[in-house]
Amino acid sequence: MARLLITGAGGLLGANLALAAMAAGHRVIAVDFLHPIRHSEVESVQADLSHPGAALQVFAAHRPRWAVHCAAAVDVDACESDPETAFRLNRDMAGQVAMAARAVGARLVHISTDAVFDGERGGYAEEDEPRPVSVYGSSKLDGERVVLDECPEALVVRTNIFGWNARPKLSLSEWFLERLRRGERCTGFTDVSFSPIAVGDLSLCLLRLLPMPVFGRLHLAGGETISKYEFGLRIARAFHLSPEPIVPGSVDSMRPGARRARRLGLEVHKAEALLGAPMPALDPMLRRWRQEETDGTLDRLRGLVARPADTNQDQEGAR
């Protein structure tokens, strides 16, 4: 099977993609910087891909046929307070990776975000004009542009994800679940909506799209757009937990930080036509996510990542 290079392979999406790719029989080249992957079936590479020339060195040494660039600065508030790092990682590093992919003739999929939109309208299609409201969104939008300038045959995937982290940090779904299990009061925003997709489902879509001649921007998100409050309630239902700890609230009540766009639902018609199937609905994805906790998936995921003393991130930080 093909050699697939994954950047950010210890991250939320990267680790789940690495597992799915191994299960599909691909040879995985896992690139990370501070938290490298350790697995007998994976070629593990430790590199600061933001360092000029580093990406080219990695791609030239490992010669992947395909590459999925997941590495990024994703902490929205940290990006806001340190724009230089945000643009260095989300724009410049993406450009370096695109240049390296082009140099060795690798097919590149670059992961972007719904946060490139301002969230005034929602239901965004690929052709809609992006207008980010945060440094994170602006730096990711610049990343899309440099990738497509460097590598016009790259596929740029805009998404919003949930699932299990390999490392001890919390995705939005894990944050809700932890609080529901502890019966700890938490706020679900009723005025922020999105189209979340489980990282396992997204990984399977990415693996199907890699060999297809599809270029440019593509929205690959869940088939339902819901508020973050409703998302929390659905998690409670999927895990047979009381929804009581989740209280409805407004994003305006949040502590100061980056501005959050409100309506970030993505149109997925183009993806559905390419994949020949509707994008998955939320409840079946949540049921699969619940199963992953006990069917060995979560253990395999955590087994991928070497554990230095790591810190927990809270929900706002994680997304």
CB contact at 8 A, 156 and 90: no
Query: Between residues 14 and 232, which has the closer beta carbon with respect to ligand NAP?
Result: 14
Among 72, 108, 205, 218, binds ligand NAP (CB under 6 A): 72
Query: Between residues 236 and 305, which has the closer beta carbon with respect to ligand NAP?
Result: 305
Q: What DSSP line would sit under 47-92, residue for residue? A: --TTSTTHHHHHHHHH--SEEEE------HHHHHH-HHHHHIIIII
Q: In the numeric block, which tokens belong to residue 315? A: 């929900």
CB contact at 8 A, 115 and 134: yes
Among 49, 100, 108, 271, binds ligand NAP (CB under 6 A): 49
Among 23, 38, 48, 278, binds ligand NAP (CB under 6 A): 48
Interaction of residue 33 with ligand NAP, rule CB under 6 A? yes
The torsion angles phi and psi of 248, rounded to 5 degrees, stand at -70, 140
CB contact at 8 A, 176 and 246: yes
Q: Which helix (H) or strand (E) holds 5?
A: strand 3-7
Residue at token pair 């399977």:
204
- Residue window 272-311: x/- pattern of binding to ligand NAP, with contact defined by CB under 6 A: ----------------------------------------
Choices 2-10, 22-30, 98-106, 253-261; region in contact with ligand NAP by CB under 6 A? 2-10
Dist CA 139 CA 84 (whole Å): 10
Among 4, 5, 6, 13, binds ligand NAP (CB under 6 A): 13
Interaction of residue 89 with ligand NAP, rule CB under 6 A? yes
Q: In the numeric block, which tokens belong to residue 313? A: 């991130």
Among 44, 138, 139, 160, binds ligand NAP (CB under 6 A): 160
Q: In the numeric block, which tokens belong to residue 270? A: 């183009």
Query: Between residues 26 and 35, which has the closer beta carbon with respect to ligand NAP?
Result: 35
Choices 20-28, 120-128, 156-164, 246-254; region in contact with ligand NAP by CB under 6 A? 156-164
Q: In the numeric block, which tokens belong to residue 218? A: 């593509």
Interaction of residue 32 with ligand NAP, rule CB under 6 A? yes
CB contact at 8 A, 112 and 264: no
Q: Smallest distance from the beta carbon of 51 to ligand NAP, in angstroms? A: 7
Interaction of residue 11 with ligand NAP, rule CB under 6 A? yes
Single-letter code of the amino acid located at 158? R
CB contact at 8 A, 85 and 50: no
Query: Between residues 140 and 260, which has the closer beta carbon with respect to ligand NAP?
Result: 140
Choices 47-55, 79-87, 126-134, 148-156; region in contact with ligand NAP by CB under 6 A? 47-55
Interaction of residue 238 with ligand NAP, rule CB under 6 A? no
Query: Between residues 92 and 240, which has the closer beta carbon with respect to ligand NAP?
Result: 92
Beta bridge partners of 186: 246
Q: Helix (H, G, I), strand (E, B), or coil: what is residue 188? A: strand
Q: Smallest distance from the beta carbon of 188 to ligand NAP, in angstroms? A: 16
Q: In the numeric block, which tokens belong to residue 69? A: 């660039």
Interaction of residue 170 with ligand NAP, rule CB under 6 A? no
Single-letter code of the amino acid located at 209? L
The torsion angles phi and psi of 229, rounded to 5 degrees, stand at -60, -50
Q: Smallest distance from the beta carbon of 149 to ligand NAP, in angstroms? A: 18
Q: In the numeric block, which tokens belong to residue 246? A: 């989740």
Write out the catalytic residue numbers.
136
Residues near ligand NAP (CB under 6 A)? 7-8, 10-14, 32-35, 48-50, 70-72, 74, 89, 93, 111, 113, 140, 159-161, 319
